Amino acid sequence: MNYYSTQITNLIEELRHLPGIGSKSAQRLAFHIINMPQEHVDHLAEVLVTARKKVRYCSVCCTLTDTEICPICASTKRDHSTIMVVEHTKDLAAYEKTGQYNGVYHVLQGTLVPSMGKGPDEIRFKELEKRLDQDDPRIKEVILATNSSLDGEATAMFITKKIKPRGIKITRIASGVPIGGELEYIDEVTLSRALDRRIEL
């Protein structure tokens, strides 16, 4: 039985499609939005549409940004000789919060998932290879900071095998990150220790 009007039901259904939002959360959000002042709703809608239209992948590191080159890649104060490879933009953000890393990043936008047929062409690995080809020999170290999951470990091993022949130092974040843990949920101190105690592959 439909308890709400068509418009409310449609709003709840759309919100329910968002990650981590169940039926009850979708209802709460829907009623909150409906009770917001009209100008706030208009602004929210405008921000959503604008973000979807203007946010793109950085042409260098493949993170999400609204400029051709993200602020980190464009910064002359960053150490461009060290690249940290992460799975998603949220992982980049997690490391930035530590304030302990001054290099640059490469965001794969996913991992290899062999069981589902997700191979190297499904992530931003070719862009990493191209970057190493263009910037070498300036790049001295690649830090593999994929999650400690089966897919994250498989991705790290694949990247190591592919780029080690180039003679670039390859390291892997080490102690402090639990097996199966996701970087975005790990505190800054633990991430800093994992970075400091990284091991060479």
Q: How many whole angstroms separate alpha carbon 147 and alpha carbon 14?
A: 30
Would you call 122 helix, strand, or coil by DSSP? helix
**CATH code of residue 29:** 1.10.8.420
pLDDT of residue 138: 80
Same domain, 135 and 38: no
- Domain CATH code at residue 128: 3.40.1360.10
Residue (of 30, 103, 31) closest to 73 by Cα position? 103
Domain contains 65: no
Cα gap 103→65, rounded to integer Å: 18
66 is a domain residue: no
For residue 179, name the pLDDT band (cuts at 50, 70, 90).
low
Closest CA to 57 of 110, 113, 132, 114: 110
Q: What is the pLDDT of residues 17-40, one digit of tens each?
A: 999 999 999 999 999 999 999 999
Which positions ≥6 away from 25 have C-beta within 8 Å? Answer: 15
Whether this prediction's pTM lies above 0.85 is answered by no
Q: How far is residue 191's CA from residue 53's CA, in Å, rounded to a whole number?
A: 33
Count: domains in the chain: 2
The 10s digit of each residue's pLDDT in 97-143 is 888 899 999 999 999 987 788 888 899 999 999 999 876 558 899 99
Average pLDDT over residues 188-197: 66
The CA distances from residue 135 to 42, 104, 138, 143, 168, in Å, are: 45, 13, 6, 16, 12
Residue 1 has pLDDT above 60, yes or no: no
Same structural domain, 27 and 87:
no
pLDDT over threshold 90, residue 189: no
Are 183 and 177 spatial neighbours (Cβ–Cβ below 8 Å)? yes
pLDDT of residue 166: 87
- Which residue range(s) make up the domain with 18? 6-54
Residues 108, 27: Cα–Cα separation, whole Å: 34
Whether residue 178 has pLDDT greater than 80? no
